[in-house]
Structure 1
Amino acid sequence: MEPLWRVAVGDVLRTARHDRGERLADTARRSGVSPQYLSEMERGLKDPSSEMIAAVAGALELTLGDLTRSVTERVSPPAAMLRAV
């Protein structure tokens, strides 16, 4: 079963934040969202607007293209599974 887009976006954002060694509050402050909202985004509980996604991605120095590619990799089945179908 494929994950929801918002869950995959949250996973990518959380991974990027952890890779940078940042606290939730630091990223939230730079992106202009509340720590609570960012936490809910990372856990896939919110369906954020494109503006919110862009703000958080920018705070993490991710381009929207890079974010989209990473999310696509998480929601797409591996090529081997596609060939088996």
Structure 2
Amino acid sequence: MNDLQWDVIGNRVRSARVAAGISARELARRIGVSPSHVSQVERGIGAFSVPALYAAAREIDISLHDLFDPPQEAPPAPAPATLQDLDADGVVQRAGQHPTIQLSDGPRWSRLNVAAEADAEFLEVIYQPGTRVLPDYIRHEGREYGIVISGALDVEVDGVRTTLNAGDSIVFDSQRPHRFWNESEAEVRAIWFVRDSEPGDAAPHA
């Protein structure tokens, strides 16, 4: 996996915050964390939780795909893919190439789409054993589709809790308050797809 360190993510957060004209103290107030925590994240010595990351992305107007891949000059259109060059043409991404970030509250996200797509996120999410229930709910634009590949994932949507076991799937509007955790003694592996509700607006997952 291509692990993204928090100093890289922090630099992108800081750049977007400055571009939005928001002070670190004001951002901290808006997302419900301390100014020192925002400072630590931007310096790469701290990590946001899932709710804080979503909240920060919303406040500084940056999408998750921009955190995985900062904006770059558009490359020339590729030639039609052939069986020999699917990797080079961005059709196939090998197991060791997925950009990956570790969140402070347990989940590990790996992006499965080869390149950033403004209207969708395709993720593998790993929950380590014994992760706690998030104190805050997550809400954002979009619609989520998930399936548990292994383990037992604890889920709460609109105050209703259940457990998803291997093979169980879930679909819901991301505006509904939700959170995920893993109280079991085994790792949970899930595949998640988040589709933007309005084409052209970026919307990420937890």
Normalising by structure 1, we get a TM-score of 0.68
Aligned-residue offset at 1:50: 3.2
Aligned-residue offset at 1:7: 0.3
Equivalent residue, structure 2, for 1:7: 7
Q: Is the 8 A contact 1:31 1:58 kept in 2?
A: no
Greater than 6 Å deviation, 4+ residue runs: none
Identity %: 33
Cα distance in 1 for partners of 2:66, 2:51 equals 16
Gaps of 5+ in 1: 74-85
Equivalent residue, structure 1, for 2:28: 28
Q: Is the 8 A contact 1:57 1:64 kept in 2?
A: yes
Equivalent residue, structure 1, for 2:18: 18
Gaps of 5+ in 2: 73-206
Q: How many residues align?
A: 71
> Which stretch shows the higher mean deviation, 52-61 or 27-36?
52-61
Cα distance in 1 for partners of 2:5, 2:69 equals 12
Cα distance in 2 for partners of 1:58, 1:27 equals 11
Q: Is the 8 A contact 2:20 2:61 kept in 1?
A: no
Q: Is the 8 A contact 1:10 1:42 kept in 2?
A: yes
Bigger fraction of residues in strand: 2
Cα distance in 2 for partners of 1:48, 1:25 equals 15
Map 1:5-84 onto structure 2 (within 5 A). 5-70=5-70
Bigger fraction of residues in helix: 1
Letter in 1 for 2:15: T
Normalising by structure 2, we get a TM-score of 0.31
Rg bigger for which structure?
2
Per the alignment, in what secondary structure is the counterpart of residue 44 of structure 1? coil
